[in-house]
Amino acid sequence: MDRVVNAATSPVDGGRVLLIGDISTALLDAAHVDRYPCEVRANILEGIDAAARGRFAAVGVVMEGTAHQLGPALQALRKGTRARILLLAQMHEEPMARRFVAGPDDEKRADAYLVCPTCLASLCSHAGVSQEPEDGRQIAGDSRPPSSVLPPPELAKLEQRIRHLERLATTDDLTGLKNRRYIWEFARQILEHARQTKGRVTLLVFDIDDFKHYNDVYGHPTGDEILRQAAILMRRCCRTHDVVGRIGGDEFAVVFWDDPNRTAGEIERERRSASAEHPSEAILVARRFQKEFGNADLRLLGPDGRGVLTISGGLASFPRDGTTVQQLFERADLALRDAKGSGKNRIYLVGEPKSDIADIR
């Protein structure tokens, strides 16, 4: 992925990067770390101590494997060093990383995050230190030209262009939501995470009823605006860590998963009830979205544009309805078609005697 958010732009102390955690999961060229201006501490406590004793441009913290240690560790790093703190996040960890870099400067626990896997040259670039191996040798298999070939202004433009292309690769340009490619990869990662933690994942697939009619009668610009409004409403209804995407045409998907900031007690309760309960949070959000969308005042449809749009959808949960991304999408799509066939304006839950979520209490 190699995508950075809130990258560091101001100079800081030192010309080296301290990396904390298992870098093999985050860096494509982790085996060559000794060729770069980097130090590594696999243990979090040792990393906090090293950050306080040394002078570093940045401290990169691998999120994977830190569990509930991450919050206190970042707080200790913030107190002990002036270096910028960069989080190295897997795709499914991005919602948590976003929380750590949000808010006023005096409340942030991290300054930026990169979506992994990334490479050492890119990491060093974002940290503001030399991107070249310290011994000056080209790394085997790395065909990129040395950054010193380009003057700094041109290098900055090139990096900006790369960031733009990366956003295009994962973002739907019409709605600003994640695209199908991102949704599938995120779902794959979060299902693997759920297998390891006995967590819960629910997939909602929905589309706008009679969308072709609105396109034909009011024109494609109006259809595009309806899609943008649907994206805004869905974001507003979802929790911050859920992932919303447009997967094609007027079809959308939401991946609901356990809040990464929940407590140990909440995790244990969720494990005990995961196989017995309905995906209550997902149902609540889906109901809320149905209500919000049904009440939306779309003036572009004329004076009668309020409350005329409806959606139909299907909900499928891991592991009850499927254990792979493909299986969950197939089951959710089947439930969506059942909802359409039963009169539309419905969201069906896979495998329930009363499939319509409006009937579930």
Per residue in 79-95, pLDDT tens? 999 999 999 998 888 88
Query: Which of 24-28, 229-233, 304-308 is predicted least confidently?
Result: 304-308
Query: For the CA atoms of 240, 224, 185, 325, what is the dihedral angle to 10 degrees?
Result: 100
Distance CA 146, CA 310 (A): 54
Indicate the domain borders of the chain: 3-170, 180-359
The pLDDT value given to residue 15: 84
| Amino acid symbol at 218 | Y
CA distances from 151 to 2, 210, 250 (A): 22, 54, 45
Specify the CATH architecture of the domain 180-359: 2-Layer Sandwich (3.30)
What pLDDT was estimated at residue 343? Answer: 85
Between CA 240 and CA 23, with CA 195 as vertex, the angle to 5 degrees is: 75
Q: Which is more confident, 275 or 107?
A: 107
pTM above 0.75, yes or no: no
3-class DSSP assignment, residue 18: strand
CB 206 within 8 A of CB 309: no
Task: Tell me which H or E stretch contains 291.
Answer: helix 280-295
Measured in Å, how far apart are the chain's first and last C-alpha atoms?
41
* Residue 135, pLDDT above cutoff 60: no
Phi, psi at 118, each rounded to 5°: -130, -170
Burial class (CB in 10 A: 0-12, 13-18, 19+), 336: buried
- pLDDT at position 272 is 45
Question: What is the chain's mean pLDDT, rounded?
Answer: 79
> Percent of the chain having pLDDT more than 70?
73
Dihedral pair phi/psi, residue 245, rounded to 5°: -145, 155
What does the alpha-carbon distance between residue 161 and residue 124 come to, in Å, rounded to a whole number?
18
Give mean pLDDT, residues 42-65.
Answer: 92
Asked if pLDDT for residue 354 goes beyond 70, the answer is: no
CA–CA distance, 191 with 325 (Å, rounded to integer): 8
What is the rounded average pLDDT of the residues 238-261?
88
Q: Sort strands 84-89 and 112-115 into parallel, antiparallel or unpaired.
A: parallel
- Torsion angle defined by CA atoms of residues 351, 352, 353 and 354, in that order, rounded to the nearest 10 degrees: -130
In the CATH hierarchy, which fold is given to the domain comprising 3-170?
Rossmann fold (3.40.50)
What average pLDDT does this structure show over 253-271? Answer: 67
pLDDT at 69: 85
Contact 279, 347 (CB under 8 A): no
- CA of 236: how far to CAs of 65, 276, 284, 289, 326, in Å? 31, 28, 13, 9, 27
Q: Return the H-helix or E-strand segment holding 281.
A: helix 280-295
- Across 89-118, b (16+ Cβ under 10 Å) vs e yields bbbbbbbbbbbbbeeeeeebbbbbbbbbbb
pLDDT tens digits along 150-172: 455 655 555 565 555 565 578 89
In angstroms, rounded to a whole number, what is the distance separating the alpha carbons of residues 83 and 11? Answer: 10
Mean pLDDT of 215-244: 88
